[in-house]
Copies of this chain bind each other. A is one copy, B any other.
Amino acid sequence: MKKKLSIVDIANSLNVSKTTISFILNGRAQEKRIGAELVERVLKFVEEVGYKPNPLAKSLRTGKSNIIGLMVEDIANPFFASIARLIEDRAYNNGYKIIYCSTDNNTEKTKDLIEMYRDRHVDGYIIAPPEGIEDDINSLIKAGFPVVLFDRNLENVNADYVVVDNLFSTYNATRHLISQGYKNIAYVSFLSSQAQLTQRLQGYKNALKEYNLKPIVKEVLFNRDNDVIMEPIRTFLKKRKDDIDAILFGTNHIGVCGLRLFSELGIKVPDDIAVVSFDDYEVFQLFTPPISAIAQPIVQIADNVITTLLSKLNSPVKDKSVKTITLSTELNIRSSSAPAKSNVVPV
């Protein structure tokens, strides 16, 4: 194996002090008033002998950092954690690293983070965007950065999107509950005007409308403290548990909060209330009874996100075309939505 060249070796070969070499290689020649000719001579030499250049200095020159900025709502949420893991793997195999953060759906924090990423010369962005950052994303795109958005659409942002068919997913899940004989189906979710959540609500309403059933919607404010989320759901369930015979939960997070309350309130699934939740994961599979859930295609989401981004990053010419990839979900039917004891309605 060839011995790795050190700064001392270069200094000796060129008969220049190692401090000077170090200043030049660390991009401090200007600051240290080192003449352009000497800089040129040193850079030429290190190129010839194959000295590994400082990648940060290189990134200043080439404008490439090989870092992708990933922004999810909450890295501790199993949906985002799983996607982040898959994106990270694919990125690593393609020579990219991931810098990540959780936005908490907080617009100001997200703006601040985008600014920080940009300052760090991130090559491309993968964002599950909160509302209110349309201008910031448009400005990234205008500046020529590849940006792939996922999980939710932003109106007025013409970027690449990878989303799932939220509207059909909840429409289909609600129809499933109706076909199992449930008539008083509540929808419990987070209060939000984010596209993915408004679409899920709409899908639920569309299905009920087809059967002339009345929507029963409970939306709660997002909070990082589960106890705070559970409080209004507890009140809702106490008040309405005898009127409703099924619940569709709009996210895995709210679904788990609901499940925690069922045993506390003595609600039996599916006898008292049948359940379907968005976002399948371990808890729903292992719960007794297992909970029917709308599974997002995690692998395909991650795959499409990173493939889209990499193809833009590696494109020799700026590729300004954008596309929206809409993936279908899968309704995993389990015992929590077994047929109601009353009559089953054919759908």
Chain A residues packing against B (C-beta within 8 Å): 24, 26-31, 33-36, 39-40, 43, 54-57, 59-61, 65, 67, 74-76, 78, 81-82, 84-85, 88-89, 92, 97-102, 109, 113, 116-117, 119-121, 256, 259-260, 282-283, 285-288
Contact = CB atoms under 8 A, between A and B. Distances in A.
Nearest to A95: B116
A259 to B, nearest CB: 6
A88 B60 contact: no
B92 A81 contact: no
Nearest to A28: B61
Contact of A36 (B30, B97, B99): B30
A102 B88 contact: yes
Of listed A55, A82, A116, A286, residue having the most chain B CB within 10 A:
A286
A31 B61 contact: yes
A100 to B, nearest CB: 6
Copies in the complex: 2
B102 A120 contact: no
Nearest to A285: B260
A85 B85 CA distance: 14
A256 B28 CA distance: 54
A61 B27 contact: yes
B67 A75 contact: no
Given A27-B61, A121-B56, A88 B67 contact: no
A60 B30 CA distance: 12
A260 B283 CA distance: 11
Contacts of A85: 74-76, 102
Contacts of A75: 75, 81, 84-85, 88
A27 B286 contact: no
A281 to B, nearest CB: 9
A67 B35 contact: no
Given A75-B81, A100-B100, A55 B287 contact: no
A21 to B, nearest CB: 14
A126 to B, nearest CB: 14
A119 B287 contact: no
B98 A100 contact: yes
Given A76-B85, A100-B100, A282-B283, A27 B67 contact: no
A254 to B, nearest CB: 13
